[in-house]
Amino acid sequence: MSETSKWFEQSKKSWGLLAQTAAWILGIIGGFLLPPPIGITQQSEKLWLRLAQFIIICVVGLMFIATRRWNKKTHILMWWLSAALVLMLAIVSFFGYQKLLNSWTCKFYQEARIVGPQSELTPHGIEYFHDNSGASCEDALREHAGKAEDVWTKASIDSRQITLAGIYILCVPLFTICIISLLQTIHIIEREQAARNMNEQRLVR
């Protein structure tokens, strides 16, 4: 087998291991992190999930290199601070998403739909709200069978969808880095404790 073939086979094994780790982390994050942005088609939802998984794979690979490089007792504080700082950033991003989601969506019966701002109404939307001055966005969606683009411009809706998707994608690597940093901190502490216990046992003997 040539060196190129060996490299390719080893790369496939490494990528497979990273993919398994990414799936495990995505399973943890998916238990509490919001789903892909509401209002995007089902095919787009799969696209964002696949992108999130790819990002996690890349982050795990980069973090693996870092964990091999900085794995001494003196690095415990660094990893702990990394986990704490990134966790705070992830929480800020998470609540930022929730705030925008609440502001930019309206209920269409039991389903949430992204709507545009009142400054970005279509000509029909301007006419609708002029004739129905007390109407809410929920009323507008019901009147138009859930088609937000009939009332608000498609460009404004798409812009909000992309913004929400971007914040979601940002949350994913932040929580991934937090998890790995925390696990690395615990790993170093347990390894140092095990080494200390072994030394104590040797002294007793």
Q: What is the DSSP letter of 183?
A: H
Evaluate if pTM is beyond 0.95: no
Query: What is the pLDDT at residue 37?
Result: 57
The answer as to whether 1 is a domain residue is: no
Residue 156 lies in a domain: yes
Residue 50's pLDDT is 83
Q: For position 43, what pLDDT does the model report? A: 60
Q: Which residue has the tokens 């913004």?
A: 163
pLDDT at 102: 87
The pLDDT of residue 34: 65
Q: How far apart are CA 190 and CA 108, in angstroms?
A: 52
Q: How far apart are CA 124 and CA 1, in angstroms?
A: 68
Residue 126 lies in a domain: yes
Strand partners, 151: none
Is residue 24 in some structural domain?
Answer: no
In the chain, how many H helices and how many E strands?
6, 2
- Domain carrying residue 187: 39-204
Contact between residue 104 and residue 158 where contact means Cβ atoms under 8 Å apart? no
For 166-191, what is each residue's pLDDT tens digit? 888 889 999 999 999 999 999 999 99
Q: What's the confidence (pLDDT) of residue 35?
A: 63
The pLDDT assigned to 111 comes to: 82
**What total of structural domains would you count in the chain?**
1
Low-confidence ranges of the chain (pLDDT < 50): none
